[in-house]
Amino acid sequence: MQAETIKVVCLGDSITWGFPHGPEYSWVRMLNDALSGEVINQGINGNTTSDMLDRFNRAVIKKNPTHVIIMGGINDVIWRESFDRITLNLKTMAEKARENGIKVIFGTPTAVDDPEPERRIKRLRDWIKEYAAENNFAVIDFAAAFFDINGKIRLEYLLADGGHPTREGYIALYAQIDLKVFA
């Protein structure tokens, strides 16, 4: 595929949108600046995977992209959605994309500086990696940016709320993207 034909929709929540700094400081903007093609930010603050699934047709399929990056799940965990509902939503989005000839890329949910939700988010990250491997979907391990070599959360990349990235955190998120995933 030629680089000029790449069109990527980034579907997600506030961490896709770029909260609180704005879309101009998001990892999506950095990706747009690096790719020869179009990158569309479809991050909405507060979205759960159910919200993302509800808007999938208009936010993704109607845009006719070559690729979709699906990144969500933290809000679901915070709102105590069931693991089964979250994974069903992610599977359904991936299947819809595949049925429409869109290459699926999953982004792993980032770190949360609170042990209880972080434990549940880790389970979701592990599931995403396993599901993606079984289905030949690419994965961008965004979460890796937030952990040091000892597995401790890099707090300098998180705001005081413990969940949203600092500007440096967004740069670290972008650094996890291997542009070859769009080849």
Specify the pLDDT at position 49. 98
Which residue, 108, 63, 65, is CA-closest to 90? 108
- What CATH number is given to the structural domain containing 49? 3.40.50.1110
Number of domains the chain contains: 1
pLDDT at 137: 97
In a domain, 183, yes or no: no
- Which residue from 132, 154, 133, 131 is spatially nearest to 143, judged by alpha carbons? 154
Residue 96, domain member (yes or no) = yes
**Token pair in block for residue 4:** 């000029």
For position 1, what pLDDT does the model report? 40
pLDDT at 183: 83
Which stretches of the chain are DSSP H helices? 14-17, 27-34, 49-54, 56-59, 74-78, 83-99, 115-134, 167-175
- Residue 143 within a domain: yes
| Angle formed at CA 90 by CA 87 and CA 94, multiple of 5 degrees | 135
47 touches 106 (CB < 8 A): no
Residue 65 placed within a domain: yes
Q: Is residue 59 part of a domain?
A: yes
In a structure prediction context, what are the per-residue pLDDT tens digits for the chain, which is 183 residues long?
A: 444 589 999 999 999 999 999 999 999 999 999 998 999 999 999 999 999 999 999 999 999 999 999 999 999 999 999 999 999 999 999 999 999 999 999 999 999 999 999 999 999 999 999 999 999 999 999 999 999 999 999 999 999 999 999 999 999 999 999 999 998
Q: Which domain holds residue 27?
A: 3-178
Cβ(45)–Cβ(105) below 8 Å: no
Q: If residue 161 lies in a helix (H) or strand (E), which one and from where to where? A: none
Check: CB of residue 157 under 8 Å from CB of residue 146: yes
Give me the pLDDT at residue 2, please.
44
